[in-house]
């Protein structure tokens, strides 16, 4: 049995689809579906169970010995979330409890960290997972801090010999792709601007408030969700890989590049407008992210990552402008 927490979410539902195709067997989703169309993310899957998060640990106790691997992708993931007590409970306390359960029951654990742990990037984007390396990072919001706090605790527990038989934390960079539609304002820029461009509008991007970056020139490491799934499936086959690793492409691209890729995928001339960045996010805005991918390569990961233009083309043509945008 393989369990995916957050399995009806964006990355989680894509992973569930990948697991169903590549591995098969009993796949369990732990998630809340709510009252919107999030359920459509898993509507095509043949699942062993869908478990609400409040019943998760009871489910684990009932299935001791059956659970081979847990992908823990569920979290409070909004970088704008202000309820720090909620974030601590869901992003630190719960995964620590899960870590100890997996260690006790010899269950493999692969969990989601985040590039938000790097803060403004002034300390670089090197995924050195030593206590000393992690201590240099200064996240800019409660979400990033919570992921960083758990990474640091995981490293110390592992060094003390208290750890699952395999454990990996993945620092996801800017992931985009199908099944993110329920995320509202947290959707990727690709998902936000494509329907507007189709409707004949311009693509609207933020102005820059940093002298080193022009309007639309803010840089991100955009990674297509299929690449993230491939890395996680590779980890499932690579039992000896442990630690905290970046998951990006290793190449930063601008938001203007991304918008141009959408126009190209739609066969349209580019029309880009710039709007003021909201004051509420200006002091916590990342102007540059770029994953260093050396350690994952050194661990043996062999595949190349999808280019921005190709990933956007697949997403726009295969999902965002199709009759059925769900994987």
* Catalytic residue check, 187: no
**DSSP designation for 316:** I
Q: Which of 38, 111, 118, 143 is catalytic?
A: 143
Q: Which of 183, 187, 196, 204 is catalytic?
A: 183
Strand, helix or coil at 179?
coil
Burial class, 231, CB count within 10 angstroms (exposed 0-12 / middle 13-18 / buried 19+): buried
Strand, helix or coil at 100?
helix
**CA 250 to chain centroid:** 15
* Catalytic residue check, 143: yes
The string of DSSP codes covering 180-197 is -GGGGGGS-HHHHHHHHH
The string of DSSP codes covering 130-168 is SHHHHHT---SSHHHHHHHHHHHHHHHHHHTT-S-SSEE
N- to C-terminal Cα distance for the chain? 22
Q: Which residues are catalytic?
A: 143, 183
């Amino acid at each position: 049995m393989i369990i995916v927490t957050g399995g009806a979410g964006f990355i989680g539902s894509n992973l569930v689809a990948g697991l169903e195709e590549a591995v098969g067997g009993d796949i369990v989703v732990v998630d809340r579906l709510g009252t919107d169309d999030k359920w459509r993310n898993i509507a095509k899957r043949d699942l062993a169970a869908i478990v609400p998060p409040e019943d998760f640990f009871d489910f684990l106790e009932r299935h001791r010995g059956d659970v081979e691997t847990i992908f823990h992708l569920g979290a409070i993931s909004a970088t704008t979330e202000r309820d720090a007590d909620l974030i601590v409970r869901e992003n630190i306390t719960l995964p620590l409890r899960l870590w100890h359960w997996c260690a006790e029951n010899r269950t493999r654990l692969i969990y989601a960290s985040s590039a938000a742990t790097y803060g403004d990037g002034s300390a670089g984007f090197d995924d050195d997972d030593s206590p000393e390396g992690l201590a240099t990072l200064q996240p800019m919001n409660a979400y990033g801090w919570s992921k960083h706090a758990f990474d640091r605790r995981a490293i110390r527990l592992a060094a003390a010999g208290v750890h699952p038989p395999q454990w990996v934390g993945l620092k996801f960079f800017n992931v985009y792709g199908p099944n993110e539609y329920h995320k509202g304002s947290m959707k990727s820029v690709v998902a936000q601007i494509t329907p507007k461009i189709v409707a004949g509008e311009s693509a609207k991007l933020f102005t820059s408030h940093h002298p080193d970056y022009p309007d639309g020139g803010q840089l991100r490491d955009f990674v297509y969700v299929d690449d993230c799934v491939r890395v996680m499936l590779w980890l499932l086959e690579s039992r000896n890989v442990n630690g905290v690793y970046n998951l990006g492409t290793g190449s930063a691209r601008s938001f203007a590049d991304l918008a141009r890729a959408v126009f190209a995928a739609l066969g349209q001339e580019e029309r880009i407008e710039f709007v003021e960045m909201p004051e509420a996010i200006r002091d916590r805005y990342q102007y540059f992210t770029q994953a260093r991918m050396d350690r994952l390569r050194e661990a043996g990961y062999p595949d190349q990552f999808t280019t921005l233009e190709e990933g956007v083309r697949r997403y726009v043509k295969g999902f965002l402008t199709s009759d059925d945008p769900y994987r």
